[in-house]
A and B are shown apart, each in its own frame.
Chain A
Amino acid sequence: MSLQHIEQSVTIRAREDRTGLGADFPRLANRTVIRFLSRYGILIAFLAIWQVSSRAGWVNPAVLPPIDTIVSALWNGLAGGTLLGDIAISLQRAGLAFAAAVAVAIPLGLFMGQVRAVETALDPILQVFRQTSALALYPVFILLLGLGEASKVFVIFWATLFPLLLNTISGVKQVDPKLLEMARVYGATRLTAFRRVVLPGAVPSIFVGLRLSATTALLLLIASEMIGANKGIGFQVMNAQYNFQIPLMFAAIVILAGLGLIANQALVSLQRRLCRWSSPID
């Protein structure tokens, strides 16, 4: 009897829901707005408070210019082309260094993770290098490579190498030996087991390394451009501050933040495509 009662009440509610086709639209729109606000609400509020307090003079607008001034400085810089050259040279430095780090760290890490003896022999020196701040070594690289492009690219390469290398190694080492044994039972050679079990198993950890390395690359890019450069986003931040072009300085900072977000997003969507099997990626 109670079952019938429940069924009936469900039917009635379903009918109420379908009062008209148009009724679904506002509800759907509402849900989208709520979802948007719950995700970006605090960011929007932060920008709004900045804008208002700067315009109202609660903070010194010379130090924290209003958002619209920053946006127009950004627009002028991009449309006028002054910032475009800086973006290009910065991307070239960071991109070159990151690509070199990927080309060295992933194969080396895959190899080191497989061969215990190599890993044991190289681990102490890697730990020492990793714990030595790349920025502290930058003067050394300048002495060795000069103050030009080479030392900048190298210091970024150096700093991005280690997170990627260490994560690749740990990805290989974390592959379940029981899976390797399973592959062996089916007659997999060492190479097949590597290709079909070790490599795919290490991919999530390699991506953790890639994302860490991308962040590090931008960090070191800015630092190296603040020391002895005459072009680049990092240079522009320092230069604008010296010349008291505060909106331009913030425009350069916004570009840096944008580059970081884009790089991370690109890696996340690549990871989503390659790792559909694993749990959702944030």
Chain B
Amino acid sequence: MATTSGGEVTIRDLSKSFTLGGRPLAVLRALNLDIRSGECLVIVGASGSGKTTLLRILAGLEAADSGGVAIDGRPVHGVGSERAVIFQEPRLLPWLTVLGNVAFGLEVRGVPKAEAEDKARFYTALVGLAEFSDAYPRQLSGGMAQRVGIARALTVQPEILLLDEPLGALDAMTKIGMQEELARIWSEENVTMVMVTHDLEEAIYLADRVLILPREKGGTARLVEVELPRPRDRSESRFVRYREELLREFGLH
């Protein structure tokens, strides 16, 4: 079930600031970026660097102050059916079963229930939860719940998958398993993936390119191309060197 190609994102002169204690606080300053169709771009940056804001603007949940975003040449205004978002929390509806939650996105878009459930069944199996189809969210572990959220996003077959620290709340062991899962899904689904994380190892494991957002005023965003074969090996020397490079960017090494 590969999605159609597309999912090219163009970001031009994007700026956004918030008011904090009566004073404007710029989080994004004239950002320019081209996200290639089908790539996996991971955004890292210290807290307050605007990485989540950037993702929310891409999702259409927030508007930019100036500049703009275009997807496949069409300017973005608000949410759109070619994008799906995976949040840090699974955000499942507690009164729907796993299958009901996975089908939710399609049903909201008016897809007939039977058809939506067929697709939902496919993606529930893809994230390895086929036997939990009838379970309710309160019966699931954190990792399982997040898988349901991922399946729900995949079911609408987006061109662009936006992930806001999707594994941030999971324990270390579950996290590694889920990173492998995401890498597998990304390679199978042919989708453009834009992900925010604060975990540098996660960034190197998944990314084609890593975008590092500056924290201090006047700093510039930097892109790091990760040229490692997949599936990636965390203990490999080149992997470790990428990690050191990113740490240096943050002034931690």
A79, CB-defined interface residue at 8 Å: no
Q: A185-B61, A186-B108, A196-B108 are in contact. Are A178 and B87 (CB under 8 A)?
A: yes
Q: Is the CB of A279 within 8 A of B138?
A: yes
Q: Is the CB of B89 within 8 A of A185?
A: no
Main SS at interface, chain A: helix
Bound CA–CA A73/B162 (angstroms): 72
Query: Known pairs A184-B61, A186-B84. 11 more at Cβ < 8 A?
Result: A178-B89, A182-B87, A182-B91, A185-B61, A185-B85, A186-B105, A187-B109, A197-B93, A200-B93, A277-B95, A277-B138
Q: Is the CB of A179 within 8 A of B95?
A: no
Q: Is the CB of A185 within 8 A of B59?
A: yes
Q: Is the CB of B108 within 8 A of A275?
A: no
Q: What are 19 A-B contacts defined by CB distance under 8 Å?
A: A179-B91, A179-B93, A183-B104, A185-B79, A186-B84, A186-B104, A186-B108, A186-B156, A187-B79, A196-B104, A196-B108, A200-B93, A200-B95, A276-B136, A277-B94, A277-B95, A277-B96, A278-B138, A279-B138
B66, CB-defined interface residue at 8 Å: no
Bound CA–CA A177/B87 (angstroms): 13
In the complex, which residue of chain A has the Cβ closest to the Cβ of B100? A277
Bound CA–CA A99/B252 (angstroms): 67
Bound CA–CA A197/B93 (angstroms): 7
A226, CB-defined interface residue at 8 Å: no
In residues 92-122 of chain B, which contact A (Cβ within 8 Å)? 93-96, 104-105, 107-109
In residues 170-191 of chain A, which contact B (Cβ within 8 Å)? 176, 178-179, 181-188
Q: Is the CB of A275 within 8 A of B95?
A: yes
Total interface residues on A, using CB and 8 Å? Answer: 22
- The smallest C-beta distance from B50 to any residue of chain A, in angstroms, reads 19
Q: Is the CB of A184 within 8 A of B79?
A: yes
Bound CA–CA A275/B61 (angstroms): 31
In the complex, which residue of chain A has the Cβ closest to the Cβ of B89? A178
Bound CA–CA A184/B78 (angstroms): 10
Task: Flag A190-233 by CB within 8 Å of B: 1 or 0 each.
Answer: 00100011001101000000000000000000000000000000
B32, CB-defined interface residue at 8 Å: no
Bound CA–CA A187/B59 (angstroms): 11
In the complex, which residue of chain B has the Cβ closest to the Cβ of A199? B95
In residues 22-77 of chain B, which contact A (Cβ within 8 Å)? 59, 61
A278 to chain B: which residues have CB within 8 Å? 94-95, 138
- The smallest C-beta distance from A280 to any residue of chain B, in angstroms, reads 11
B109 to chain A: which residues have CB within 8 Å? 186-187
- The smallest C-beta distance from B137 to any residue of chain A, in angstroms, reads 8
Bound CA–CA A277/B101 (angstroms): 12
Task: Flag A140-153 by CB within 8 Å of B: 1 or 0 each.
Answer: 00000000000000
A181 to chain B: which residues have CB within 8 Å? 61, 91
In the complex, which residue of chain B has the Cβ closest to the Cβ of A274? B95
In the complex, which residue of chain A has the Cβ closest to the Cβ of B152? A186
- The smallest C-beta distance from A38 to any residue of chain B, in angstroms, reads 27
Bound CA–CA A218/B61 (angstroms): 49
Residue of A183, A187, A200, A275 with highest tally of chain B CB at under 10 A? A187
- The smallest C-beta distance from A189 to any residue of chain B, in angstroms, reads 9
B156 to chain A: which residues have CB within 8 Å? 186
B220 to chain A: which residues have CB within 8 Å? none
Residue of A186, A197, A275, A279 with highest tally of chain B CB at under 10 A? A186
In the complex, which residue of chain B has the Cβ closest to the Cβ of A189? B108
Bound CA–CA A279/B81 (angstroms): 34
A192 to chain B: which residues have CB within 8 Å? 108
A196 to chain B: which residues have CB within 8 Å? 93, 104, 107-108
A201 to chain B: which residues have CB within 8 Å? 93, 95
B59 to chain A: which residues have CB within 8 Å? 185
A276 to chain B: which residues have CB within 8 Å? 136
- The smallest C-beta distance from A190 to any residue of chain B, in angstroms, reads 12
B107 to chain A: which residues have CB within 8 Å? 196
In the complex, which residue of chain A has the Cβ closest to the Cβ of B94? A277
In residues 48-100 of chain A, which contact B (Cβ within 8 Å)? none
A178 to chain B: which residues have CB within 8 Å? 87, 89, 91
B137 to chain A: which residues have CB within 8 Å? 277
B84 to chain A: which residues have CB within 8 Å? 185-186
In the complex, which residue of chain A has the Cβ closest to the Cβ of B59? A185
Bound CA–CA A183/B101 (angstroms): 11
In the complex, which residue of chain B has the Cβ closest to the Cβ of A176? B91
Bound CA–CA A263/B84 (angstroms): 46
Bound CA–CA A181/B87 (angstroms): 10
Bound CA–CA A186/B156 (angstroms): 8
A200 to chain B: which residues have CB within 8 Å? 93, 95
